[in-house]
Amino acid sequence: MAPFIQSATLLYLFHIGMGASEYDADGLVSKPEIKAQELRVKGADHSVLIAKSAYYPQLAFNAGLGSNYYKTSGFDAESFGKQLKNNFRQYLGLSLNVPIFNRFSTRNSVRSARIDRDNQVLKLEDAKKSLYKEIQQVYYNAIAAESRYVSSRQAVASNEYAFRLTQGKYENGKASITEFNEAKNNLLKAQSDMVQAKYESLYQNSLLDFYRGKSLDF
């Protein structure tokens, strides 16, 4: 009975106009491909900022240490350690780069970064639309599967009543063996259809849970 109770809630949400949209929102949040594309959009945003940074002046600081040793053939030279000490030097420096004109290189880089960012946004929207369609299809499949399950339960109840009635008639000589077997076969088929419908409903409901970020549990 558990799957029927779960799906009855799903049917209720469907009838009051909720259901599918709730699953859409959950699915969009939890699906890895959506998260991955959202990260690509954020990366493209940063690329635009990096490209625009070339418009601004750049101040650089540099520093260095150095020394050297030399010896000329045929002449006396100071020791290696003394030369390193005497020739030791150091420096500090600042450089300011002010962009004035670079043949529109920065402008083109910014435009290219913006185009890439727009493309990533379009890909994100396409991914959301594709996932939305998937969730819609699974949702309506679950509704249809639950409807078949409810119908199959009703069919079993109806065929059980018909079988008991025919069985009573057969035992009292008012129904033939053919009628008895036909009623029995109809009941068996209805029971088999109900089992199939039950597990189909379980499967479709589990798929819905999967789109909400839950693990598949059959």
104-127 mean pLDDT: 93
Reported as a pLDDT band with limits 50, 70 and 90, residue 128 is: confident
pLDDT of residue 23: 52
Q: Which spans in 53-104 are helix H? A: 80-86
Question: For residue 33, how many other CB atoms are within 10 A of its CB?
Answer: 12
- Crossing angle (nearest 10°) for helices 105-171 and 20-30: 130
Pairwise pLDDT comparison (181 vs 32), residue with the higher score: 181
96-105 mean pLDDT: 81
Q: Is the pLDDT of residue 31 over 90?
A: no
Which residues are registered as beta bridge partners of 64? 91
Structure tokens at 20: 């599918």
Pairwise pLDDT comparison (170 vs 88), residue with the higher score: 170
b/e map 136-172, b = 16+ CB within 10 Å: eebbebbbebbebbbebbebbeebeebbeebeeebee
Q: Is the pLDDT of residue 146 over 60?
A: yes
For residue 66, the 8-state DSSP code is E
28-41 mean pLDDT: 81
Is there a contact between 154 and 38 (Cβ–Cβ < 8 Å)?
A: no
Closest to 135 measured CA to CA, from 6, 29, 16, 12: 29
Question: For residue 24, how many other CB atoms are within 10 A of its CB?
Answer: 19
Q: Is the pLDDT of residue 192 over 80?
A: yes
Pairwise pLDDT comparison (31 vs 152), residue with the higher score: 152
Rounded Cα distance, 160 and 166, in Å? 10
